[in-house]
């Protein structure tokens, strides 16, 4: 699914070249559930931008679903983002003036398909928001907004789901709910990559890559995958004030 080899990325900051990624290689197979962790400033976001086709590497190769990404121009990268990648962001990134339904169908505007509402509705049902179809984001809680974002990420049936700190802005319960949804999607066969600095979240994924100073420090299978669904049940019941 993903084949990354000797990936480097160099940025120019006030005249100086700074190497953010210093030769990163790994591959991801179909149906994997992977997290990339590491403290901030280790190149996580840069790596994630390259995987997400928002950025191109300085050198190295990146093959996504059989396409050599590093050779593509801006238009083709846009098409790849549209067709093969489902983004989930820390700050949700929904359009504030659009309804839930319109937000979920947003990627369809830039694809050859067109939205008839059916697909979006069934996805919203899947993330438990069937009754929020005509809400605008400001009427939804953080967790609900992130679930809308997940539905949006799924609308084009992408090759991978790419989640950047998906629980960074959420409380414990909402975080677990989001992770539970991602685990469920993975069980259905979705390839998912989470970028996070929280080991707690990474502990729910099947494989953990640790980045340090632009290099892969470790790449291990997680022998004890935690189950978010089960943990949710054990959470103390919220006291409503």
Partner 1 sequence: MRIIKNSKEAIKSLGSNKLRTFLMMLGVIIGIATFTAVITIGQSGKSRVMKSMNKMWGAMPIAITPGGKDFPMHADVLSAPATLTKEDADAIVREVPNVKDVCLVQITTNVPASYKGKNTTVLDLIGVTPNFETYRTTKVISGEFISEEDMNSLARVCLIGQTTSKELFDEKNPIGEIVSIENVNFVVKGVIEPKGTNPSGRDLDNRILIPQTTFARRMYNLNHLSQIVVGLVDVKKIEKTGNDIAAFLRERHNISSEKFDDFTIRLPSTVAQTFTKTSQTLTIFLAIISLISLIVGGVVIMNIMLISVSERIKEIGIRRAVGAKKKDILSQFLFEASWITFIAGIIGIIFGIAISRIIAFISKTPATISLGAIVLAFIFSAVIGIIFGLQPARKAASLNPIEALRTE
- Give the separation between CA 5 and CA 35, rounded to whole angstroms: 18
**129 to 2, 105, 189: CA distances (angstroms):** 31, 15, 22
Q: Which lies closer to partner 1 via its Cβ, residue 33 or residue 92? A: 92
Return the ∠ at Cα 33 (arms to 152 and 208), rounded to 5°: 125
Strands 160-164 and 191-196: what pairing? Answer: parallel
Residues of this chain, 154-173, that bind partner 1 according to CB under 8 A: 156
CB of 86 to partner 1, least distance (A): 9
CB of 203 to partner 1, least distance (A): 27
Q: Which lies closer to partner 1 via its Cβ, residue 28 or residue 80? A: 80
Residues of this chain, 83-112, that bind partner 1 according to CB under 8 A: 83, 87, 89, 91, 93-95, 97-98, 102, 106-107, 109-111
**4 to 13, 61, 163: CA distances (angstroms):** 25, 6, 18
CB of 40 to partner 1, least distance (A): 14
Structure token digits, residue 161: 């789901």
Structure token digits, residue 192: 């998912």
From residue 60 to residue 79, what is the string marking binding to partner 1 with x (rule CB under 8 A)? Answer: --------------xx--xx
Q: Any bridge partners for residue 34, and if so which?
A: 193, 207
CB of 94 to partner 1, least distance (A): 8
Q: Residue 170 contacts by C-beta under 8 Å, 6 or more apart in sequence?
A: 142, 143, 146, 178
Among 38, 52, 137, 166, binds partner 1 (CB under 8 A): 52
Could you list the residues that contact partner 1 (CB under 8 A)? 49, 52, 54-55, 74-75, 78-79, 81-83, 87, 89, 91, 93-95, 97-98, 102, 106-107, 109-111, 114, 152, 156
């Amino acid at each position: 699914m993903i084949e990354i080899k000797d990936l480097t990325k160099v940025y120019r900051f006030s005249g100086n070249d700074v190497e953010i990624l210093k030769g990163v290689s790994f591959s991801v197979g179909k149906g994997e559930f992977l997290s990339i962790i590491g403290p901030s400033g280790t190149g996580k976001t840069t790596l994630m931008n390259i995987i997400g086709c928002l950025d191109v590497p300085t050198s190295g190769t990146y093959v996504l679903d059989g396409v050599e990404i590093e050779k593509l121009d801006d238009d083709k990268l846009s098409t790849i983002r549209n067709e093969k990648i489902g983004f989930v962001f820390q700050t949700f990134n929904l359009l504030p003036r659009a309804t839930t339904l319109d937000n979920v169908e947003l990627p369809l505007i830039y694809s050859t398909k067109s939205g008839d509402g059916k697909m979006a509705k069934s996805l919203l049902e899947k993330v438990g928001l069937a009754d929020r179809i005509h809400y605008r984001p400001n009427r939804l809680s953080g967790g609900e907004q992130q679930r809308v974002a997940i539905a949006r990420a799924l609308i084009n049936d992408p090759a991978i789901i790419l989640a950047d700190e998906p629980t960074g802005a959420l409380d414990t319960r909402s975080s677990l709910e989001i992770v539970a949804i991602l685990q469920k999607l993975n069980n259905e066969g979705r390839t998912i990559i989470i970028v996070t600095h929280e080991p707690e979240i990474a502990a729910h994924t099947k494989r953990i890559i640790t980045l340090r100073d632009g290099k892969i420090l470790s790449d291990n299978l997680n022998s004890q995958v935690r189950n978010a669904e089960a943990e949710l049940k054990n959470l103390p019941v919220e006291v409503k004030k």
